[in-house]
Amino acid sequence: MREWREELGLAWRIARMRVSAQMQFQGSFLLQLIGNCILTIMEVVAIVIFFQRFPSLGGWTLNEILLLYAMSAITFEIADTIQNGLDLVPGRVRSGDFDTLMTRPVSIYLQAMVLDVSIRHVGKTLLAIGLFAWAWTRTDPSLTIATLLLLLSALLCGIALFVAIFTLGAIVSFWTVGSIEIVNAVSYGGSDLAQYPIHIYRQWFRTVFIWLIPVGFVIYYPMLIILDKPDPLGFAPAAPFLGPLLTFAFVIVIGWLWRRGVNHYHSTGS
């Protein structure tokens, strides 16, 4: 336990260093922050325009969709902030610089995560939280202990899953120098598809994102239950337990693959 605390403390110190390094370039940071926010605003405007032309999406109203969108965006942005360093792993593996991580007395995974800490996601996260609060007052679900637990489950499972998917991108690079764009399609695609009610997707597509990569499951069902929406897929009674269970299984598999990947790593270059 003490070891873990020390390791987390060290990772935290590295993370703080990276953040203060970024703040040296304030203009550039501001532009990225604005860019990040503009994209989110554009997506929300697009949803609003869609709802000017159509009354509902899969039986969900504009405010309900915005609540789901905001929840998905919050988990994805937090996960993206946490995992930022993992993006750099493929490059380090290719160049052989991954060696440095193995010589230090801190968990390799933690070090990989803080290889780069980007705070540009802060803007989008805050925007999404604001949107969530706004949509919450508009949909006005009853606030009970169960609601809070469901929200917490959606948040934690969502973050864990997205971080795990991003980790997969790094893992792939231990075996192949090829493109990891396929993993990006799953992470960014996963975040996009989780922004809408999953019952609008086709059976085969849904199956993949419920059972294999449960991003479609862990955010949709808590929101469906909280908003008291009809349940076309019929998982609602089991979902509060099934979601975390599927997430746990996915994370375990990714963790195992990561360790195998690190063991497989052979340094390159001189």
Partner 1 sequence: MRVYLEIAILASRQQIAYRAAMLAGLFTNSVFGVILGSVMLGFYGSIDNGSVNGWSADDAITLIWINQSLLMVVYLWGWWDVSNTIQSGSIANDFLRPISWYGMWLSRDFGRALATVFLRMIPTLAIGWLLFDITLPASLARVGWFLVAVALAVWVSFSIRLLTNLAAFWLIDHRGIAAISIVFTTFLSGMIMPIDFFPEPLRTIAQFLPFQAITMAPNNAYLGKGDPLLIVATQLFWIVVLALLCAQVLKRGERRLVVQGG
d(CA 65, CA 59): 10
Applying the rule CB under 8 A, the residues between 59 and 78 that interact with partner 1 are 59
We find the least distance from the C-beta atom of residue 252 to partner 1, in angstroms, to be: 25
We find the least distance from the C-beta atom of residue 34 to partner 1, in angstroms, to be: 7
Helix (H, G, I), strand (E, B) or coil at 60: strand
Q: In 3D, which of 77, 71, 80 has the Cα closest to residue 131?
A: 71
At 255, list the tokens: 């963790």
Distance set, CA 193 to CA 73, 200, 210, 217, 221 (Å): 11, 10, 11, 10, 14
Task: Establish if 21 lies at the interface with partner 1 (CB under 8 A).
Answer: no
d(CA 93, CA 102): 12
Task: Establish if 53 lies at the interface with partner 1 (CB under 8 A).
Answer: yes
We find the least distance from the C-beta atom of residue 176 to partner 1, in angstroms, to be: 9
We find the least distance from the C-beta atom of residue 30 to partner 1, in angstroms, to be: 8
Instruction: Pick one of 78, 135, 163, 193: the residue that binds partner 1 (CB under 8 A).
Output: 193
Nearer to partner 1, 27 or 105 (CB): 27
Which residue type, as a one-letter code, is found at position 93?
V
d(CA 195, CA 149): 20
Task: List helix spans (H) across 99-144.
Answer: 99-103, 108-113, 121-139
Task: Establish if 143 lies at the interface with partner 1 (CB under 8 A).
Answer: no
Task: Establish if 184 lies at the interface with partner 1 (CB under 8 A).
Answer: yes
We find the least distance from the C-beta atom of residue 172 to partner 1, in angstroms, to be: 11
Task: Establish if 232 lies at the interface with partner 1 (CB under 8 A).
Answer: no
We find the least distance from the C-beta atom of residue 36 to partner 1, in angstroms, to be: 7
Q: What is the enclosing helix (H) or strand (E) of 181?
A: helix 181-193
Q: Which stretch binds partner 1 (CB under 8 A): 97-105, 145-153, 183-191, 254-262?
A: 183-191
Distance set, CA 67 to CA 36, 169, 180, 196, 262 (Å): 20, 29, 31, 10, 39
Applying the rule CB under 8 A, the residues between 22 and 41 that interact with partner 1 are 27-28, 31-32, 34-36, 38-39
Give Cα 174 to chain centroid, integer Å: 22
Q: Which stretch binds partner 1 (CB under 8 A): 93-101, 121-129, 154-162, 193-201?
A: 193-201
At 223, list the tokens: 């929101």
Q: Summarize as ranges the residues that interact with partner 1 (CB under 8 A).
A: 27-28, 31-32, 34-36, 38-39, 42, 45-46, 49-50, 52-59, 178-182, 184-186, 189, 192-193, 196-197, 200-202, 205
